[in-house]
Structures are given as structure tokens and as C-alpha cells.
A and B are shown apart, each in its own frame.
Chain A
Amino acid sequence: MSITDTEGGRGSALFPFLWKTVKLLATVALTFLGLLIVTFLIGRVVPVDPVLAVVGDRASKSVYDKAFIELGLDRPLYEQFWLYLTKILTGDLGTSMLTKRDIVDDIARFFPATVELATVGILIGTLIGVPVGVWAAVRKGKLVDQVVRVLGLVGYSAPIFWLGLLGLLVFYARLQWVGGPGRIDIGFEYSITQNTGLLLIDSAMQGEWAAFRNIFGHIILPASLLGYYSMAYISRMTRSFMLNELEQEYIVTARVKGVPEWRIIWVHALRNAAVPLVTVVALSYANLLEGSVLTETVFAWPGLGQYLTNSLQNADMNAVLGCTLVIGAIFVGLNLISDLLYGLLDPRVRRRA
């Protein structure tokens, strides 16, 4: 390859990248359509009388019939699906049979709580997991490595809701080190206005530091739990990526050149390992959505997970499906982002265009 090739190559490297992105987006759109079909079909299998959920047990026949027609249940299946599809594409996920509000509004209200929890969780997981993983890679085979591995295994094996319960019992009920279930103590609740819905940010921006401490006390336990789960995964992956890097020739070269060991590990090797690590973190974040469903139930955290379980227990199928769809879409989105990031960040992949 001559120099002129690489120069002109920069422009033509962009087009294939865009094309790849477009193909990726098309795939995502198709996947999304499939998601919709699946959720629609699930919704129709339900052995629950959906009219009942709306009008209640004691409504008269006329009220019942009226609601039946309103819900469109007298039309054929494909018409119902078309209706469903058009509604979703205009952002109408239907009305929650329980709260009588638009499901989109409900989800928008509960979403920030889950985002806050997952974000703090992933921060904890990354800030602890990456250094621990590096450490285990450097000390491969020694006690540290084994301990890290076992701790990680514990993270994979313990049911998160059980650990949450025990955590509450020990750290809240007995030791009183952390705040209890819920996001904030009732006494502080009205001292801050919720602009973003992310309480830590809202209280910090308004200078309400007492409230901030209280909020932190409440979020630390569930976030640590989720963080522990992602840490188990992140540290393991960091370890493998680091091991990969540390075997490369350039490391040997650097050592021979006399570069200090800590620089080799933290600056050179880690920077290269960071590339696939970013995608791992993105995937972990997506997985925390799944973890949040169970964690929020234990900690009375008013987020998407609790909304989903609440709707489930009340057979509010519209809300369940709406939530499933949204979570699925986020999952797809995060996977997409991690694919793109990987393509963007890894110079080897970029030049391959």
C-alpha cells in the first residue's frame, strides 16, 4: 500500500463505515419488528379477561360490552396487530389498566430511578472491577488471582434478590449503616424539586447536601449489589484482556527499553485492553437492567423493574408488554452502541475498511 492510498483511503474509509452502520441499523429495525410481533402474540395468549381489568368485577353488562368494543377486541387478529404497530410507532404504548395513565408516561416517570441505580452500579463495578482485574492478571496464578476468581464466581452464583435481602437485614436493620428501602427518607422528599429525576444530580445542583447524603445512603446498598455483579464479570474480562496484552511483543520491548513496570501495566497494556473493555462495560450496563428487576423489588426502588413486576402481579398485560418492549429496545440499543464503539475504537477494525 503506497502513501497515496492511505491518504485517499481516509475518505473512502468513511463510506464503508457509514454503509456498515446503515446495515446495522436495518438489522436492528428488523429485530425490533420481531420484538413487536413477539410481544403482541404474548399479549394475546393471556388467559385473563382484559375487559375485567378495566371495568372491575362488579360492572354491569352494558359497561362491560362498552369497554370490550373500546379495547378493539371484536376485530380480527391482524387488524389488532396493525393497530398495535401503528400505535407503537407513534409512541403510544397504550394505557395502563392499573394507573389509567399512558404507559409511555408511566415508563418515563420510573425510568430515571433505574438509570440512576444502574449508572451508580456500573460505576462501582468498573471502578473496582478494572483495577482488580488488572491486579489479578499481573499476579496470575497467585493467591490474589484465585481470590478474585472465587469472588467473581460467588457473584455469578448467588441470587441477587437473596443477597439484597440479607444486605438489608444486616446493613440496615441491624447495623443501620445505610438507608432503608426507597430512594430517600420521607423527611427530605420535599426539599428538592425533581428536574431530571436523578436525585443525586438534582440535590447536588440545588445545593441540598443533607438530602444528597441521605440519597446516597439509600442508593449505596442496591448499587453496590448491582456493582458487585457487574464487577464479577468486568474483572474477569479485564483479566483475560490484560493477559492477552501482556503476552504481546511490544510489552517485552517496553520492558527491555527500561520503561517502569507500573507504566507498562497501567498506561500501555491497559489502554489497549480498554478497547474491548468498553464494549464489556456497555454490555454489563445492559445486563444491569435485568438485575434491576429483582433488586428494585427488594429495595422498594420506584424504577422500571418495580413497575414491571407490579404490572405483572396485577396482570396488566399492556404495561408488561410495553415495559418489555422498552427494555428490549434499550438492550438492542446498547448492543448496537457497543458494536459501533468497538468498530470505532479499535484501529485495526477501522483500517480494515
Chain B
Amino acid sequence: MIYGRRLIGAAVTALTMLAAPVATAETPPDTLIQAWAIDDVISLDPAEIFEFTASEIAGNAYEGLIGYDPKDVSKIFGKVAENWTIAPDGMSISFKIREGRKFASGNEITAEDVVFSLTRAVKLDKSPAFILTQFGLNADNVDQMVVQTGPYSLDFKMDKAYAPTLVLYCLTATVGFVVDKKVVMEHESNGDFGYEWLKTNYAGSGPFTIREWRANEAVVMERNDNYSGDAPPMARVIYRHIPEGATQRLLLEQGDIDIARNLGAEEMTALASNTDLVIDTGAKGSIYYLGLNQKNEFLSKPEVRQAMKYLVDYQTIADTIMKGKVTVHQAFLPNGFLGALNDTPFSLDVAKAKELLAAAGVPDGFTVTMDTRNTPEITGIAQAIQQTMAEAGITMELIPGDGQQTLTKYRARNHDIYIGRWGPDYQDPHTNADTFARNPDNSDDAASKPLAWRNSWEIPEMTLKADAAVLEADADKRAEMYIELQEEHQQTSPFVIMFQEIEVLGRRKNVDGYILGPSFNDNSFALVTK
């Protein structure tokens, strides 16, 4: 009996001694610490980066030829490039590179590096390569199409007279970032253009360098002393992988991190009353939509498609479960793009939906399945839609799956309805028009699989219209063409476009100067102060 008590006493004393005051660490004043789910980073090579998180990292570590004002994307200017001239036939653009600028390694930035960066991206042919190859470039001809014409000048040739805005926006994408040729080639092996090395290393010229990447753990970035612009106030920026919003919130409240990037609607509500914290938001280009497979006998009826557009309670979802994370948006070009359409003609109207269903010959509704990725947001939205659909007699069964499974099914056109989120690849309207409004080949073994193809939507005329918009040189005319396209698309398409994503950032009050741009590689912390 006594031994028992003594034992317990000893144990408790020992534990309390050791566990007593856990020092609350505040973040060092010259280091910015962000908590973000960075498990989608798979590579640091700009020729391969296609994920949001890696894009942001690269956006702060590298520079591209062209940049734009995040507040107004129509204001385009040159970053690495000083100016450019478009050839009279519109089939090539000549760039003049700014002189006297350096990479982080100390090497000078020349046209040779730019040409190297662009040609290697095409030759390596990784996932984002299509952004450049769509201009008629491929591994065989790219050395003749992208040529250096002087130490600080180069020509970019294409196979057609594409709209200059399109080309320039494409060059702002991550795949167009400039890498240090000398450093990369020092580490090349077997003619891989330094790919194996650059996957996990850095050779850029941006405000920060990438010092270290520990997959699923952290990314450490340091101030680039050779940066040609103003030196960033922060000496270090660290991304910490914390997958849970609730955990990020706790860390933010305690002051263990400066910025939390994955706050959900409830976390934001809870933090709203905290005077030490500020919530910043910025519209992003991702769109939430439903894809209705036209191979399904019910979904192919035009009245049914229309009816379903009236059976989603857009505003309520945006005000409750996705509060602060989305805005209602119903056209395929997100707000912030050239030619965006912000009309929202649809809202929940069960009576009208029932009328339309009756007109289609299915007054009592029907049963249909929806493939749902099991992330909390998508699942939440899906369940809410399930409820409103049921009010008109449409029984929607949710088929869950992880990202890869649902995607595999979608690409094989084996779904009824797919609920998804589409992010733009580059900051030009064609990125979404290409996928929502073009379907050049609807056969089962088509070479390209845009979203319109995945839902078996035959649209020969719309495809031609989208193609024409790509070649329109005048920016205003081009914008109008897209608006017209979207107005038609809204009414006739098998896409129920619902929301546009808002990026949310929670920061401690003393952290200032973070810029949230329209695209992830625009998010910049070069101006952050604490």
C-alpha cells in the first residue's frame, strides 16, 4: 500500500518537473513563419511546377520575363525583360532584356539564360509544358523558334499570330521563370538539363532564395543579397507544413506562427474577435463547378441542365459553410481575368426547376450519382446540394473518393455528375476557355481531354468562337468576345458554375505588406515587415 503511494508520488513529481513551463516561443523578428499545407509540393524546378504551393514559392524565388500589377492584371510590364516589340505579322515577339541584373549566384542575367529556361521547359515536356508548346513549339523546333539575337535580346517565334496578351500572360506563368544556366548546367547529368538537380535545388534571381525543402515538413527561404530590386525586410521566410486549419489557428493565437493559410470558415469567425489578428482575403482564380455528363440520359436534356442550375442554393452555401472562402460566381472566367463576367442569373428556385423538369418529361425527378472528392469543403458543398436537389425530386447519391480515384473516373467519362474545382494555369482567359468552351474532338480516344470533352459536350461552333478569340490582337475586342461566349455558355452548358475561391490569410497584427495576387505565383512577401 505504502509502496503504491510512494510510487505514484514519485512519478507525478518527476513528470511535473519536466513538463512545467513550456516556453511560449515568439517568432524571431526577422523571420516570417507561415503555416500552410505544403504536401502538394513535388518539385522545385520551374519547368515542372504545377501546384499552387510550389508556384507561390517559385514566384518569390524566381523572376519571369513579364509581370503584371496584381491589383489590375491588364497592366503588364517587363520584369527580366525591359521592353518588347511585336512583329508586324504577329508571329513573333522580340524581347530586350534588362542589363546589369544578377542571379543569386552572382552570375549576370542574360538572354542566354532566358532562352535556356524556355527551351529546356519545352524539351523536358513536363506537365506545364503545354503552356508554351501550345504556340507551336516542340522539342524539335524550339531551338529555332526561341533564339538569342544578342547578349540581351531574343526572339520568340510562334506558328500563328496569337493574341499578344495571350503570349505575354503565358510567359508570366511559373514555367516561364528564368533559371541560371551556368549553375544548372554545372549539375546536369545525361543531358537532362539539370532536371534531377533542380528538382530539389535553386538557381534563380528573385527576392528570396530557396535554402531548403524538406518534403511535407518545411521550406526555408532566405533573403537574396544579389536581388536587383529593393532588399526585402525579412531575412528569412519559413513555410511550415501544418495540414489542419484548427491547429494553425491555435498556433496563430499563441503567436507561434505569423501567418496561417488554411483557415476555414469557422476558424475565421472565431478569430474575428481577436484583436491581435487580422484576416486578409484575396480573390483567386479557382472555380467550383458541377460537370453534368451528357452521356447520361437525363442530364443530356437541356431543360434538366437548366433545372439543376436552379437547384443550388449558392448564396446560402457562400454565407454559411463556405463563409468567407468563396463568392458566388457563375461564369467560367473568374473575376480578375480579362473578359470576366460577373452576372449571376441563377439562384435557388425549386418551383422553376420543377417546371423545367416537367417540360423535360421527368416531373417526378430521377436518380443520379455525383463523384465527390473527400475534402471537407467539397463534401460540405456536395451535401448541401444533395439536399436542395432532393426538393425537386432529384435523388443524388454521393460517391466519395480521393482525388486520384475521382479524377480517373472523370477522365474516363464514367461519371454522372462531377463536383470539382478548376484552377487556371496562367493568367489569360484562354486557360479556362480552352477547357470549358472547346471540344475539338468528342470521340473516346481524343488526344486532349478538356472539361467539355470529359462531359461529352459537342460544341463545334463554340469551339470555333473560342479559337477566334485566341487570335484577336485588340485587348478590348478580345474581352468582349469572351463576355459573349460566357453569356451563351451560362445558359446552355452542362456546367453548373457555382463559386470562385477566395484565398484567406490570417496574420498577426504586426505583420504587414503581404500581397495576395490573383494567381498563386503572384502572392508575394517581398515587402513584408513585422
Contact = CB atoms under 8 A, between A and B. Distances in A.
The answer to whether any beta carbons of A and B sit under 8 Å apart in the complex is: yes
Interface of A: 47-49, 52-53, 55-63, 98-101, 106, 109, 127-128, 131, 135, 139, 144, 172-173, 176-182, 185-188, 210, 213-214, 216-218, 220, 262, 300, 302, 307, 310, 312-315
B23 A98 contact: no
A100 B256 contact: no
Nearest to B215: A99
Contact of A186 (B126, B238, B411): B238
Contact of A56 (B26, B50, B125, B238): B50
Nearest to B240: A186
Interface in B287-312: none
Contacts of A139: 1
Contacts of A55: 127
A128 B8 CA distance: 9
A58 B50 contact: yes
Given A52-B407, A186-B25, A217-B22, 19 more contacts: A49-B408, A52-B408, A57-B407, A58-B425, A59-B126, A98-B40, A99-B216, A100-B43, A135-B4, A178-B19, A178-B22, A179-B22, A180-B251, A180-B254, A181-B250, A214-B23, A220-B15, A300-B243, A314-B403
Contacts of A109: 214
Interface of B: 1, 3-4, 7, 11, 15, 18-19, 21-23, 25-28, 33, 39-40, 42-43, 50, 125-130, 133, 199, 214-217, 238, 240, 242-244, 247, 250-251, 254, 256-257, 402-405, 407-408, 411, 425, 447-448
Contacts of B126: 59, 63
A214 B22 contact: yes
A216 B18 contact: yes
Contacts of A99: 42, 215-216
Contacts of B27: 186-187
Contacts of A220: 15, 18-19
Given A52-B411, A106-B215, A58 B242 contact: no
Secondary structure type dominating chain A contacts? helix
A56 B127 contact: yes
A79 B397 CA distance: 40
4 closest pairs, A vs B, by CB?
A187-B25, A217-B22, A315-B404, A99-B215
A62 B125 contact: yes
A84 B18 CA distance: 48
A106 B214 CA distance: 10
18 contacts: A48-B405, A48-B408, A49-B411, A57-B411, A60-B448, A106-B215, A109-B214, A135-B4, A180-B256, A181-B250, A185-B23, A185-B256, A187-B256, A210-B23, A216-B18, A300-B247, A302-B217, A315-B404
A53 B448 CA distance: 18
A131 B214 CA distance: 42
A302 B402 contact: no
Contact of B127 (A59, A128, A185, A213): A59
Contacts of A218: 22
A213 B215 contact: no
Given A188-B25, A217-B19, A180 B7 contact: no
Contacts of A300: 242-244, 247
A77 B15 CA distance: 55
Contacts of A188: 25
B250 A180 contact: yes
Nearest to B138: A62
B19 A216 contact: yes
B402 A213 contact: no
Nearest to B26: A187
B39 A58 contact: no
A262 B1 CA distance: 10
Contacts of A59: 126-127, 130
B403 A187 contact: no
Contacts of B408: 47-49, 52
B402 A131 contact: no
A193 B161 CA distance: 56
Contacts of B216: 99, 302, 307, 310
Nearest to A128: B11
B383 to A, nearest CB: 19
Nearest to A302: B217
A186 B23 contact: no
A181 B217 CA distance: 13
A10 B27 CA distance: 65
B263 to A, nearest CB: 16
B221 to A, nearest CB: 14
Nearest to A58: B127
A109 B213 CA distance: 13
B125 A49 contact: no
A187 B28 contact: yes
A213 B240 contact: no
Contacts of A210: 23
A177 B19 contact: yes
A17 B377 CA distance: 60
A213 B238 contact: no
B404 A48 contact: yes
A315 B402 contact: yes
Nearest to A265: B3
Contact of A131 (B7, B19, B22, B217): B7
A185 B25 contact: yes
A186 B244 CA distance: 16
Contacts of A98: 39-40, 42, 215
A181 B130 contact: no
Contacts of A128: 11
A49 B18 contact: no
Contacts of B125: 60, 62-63
Contacts of B240: 186
B3 A262 contact: yes
A100 B50 CA distance: 14
B226 to A, nearest CB: 23
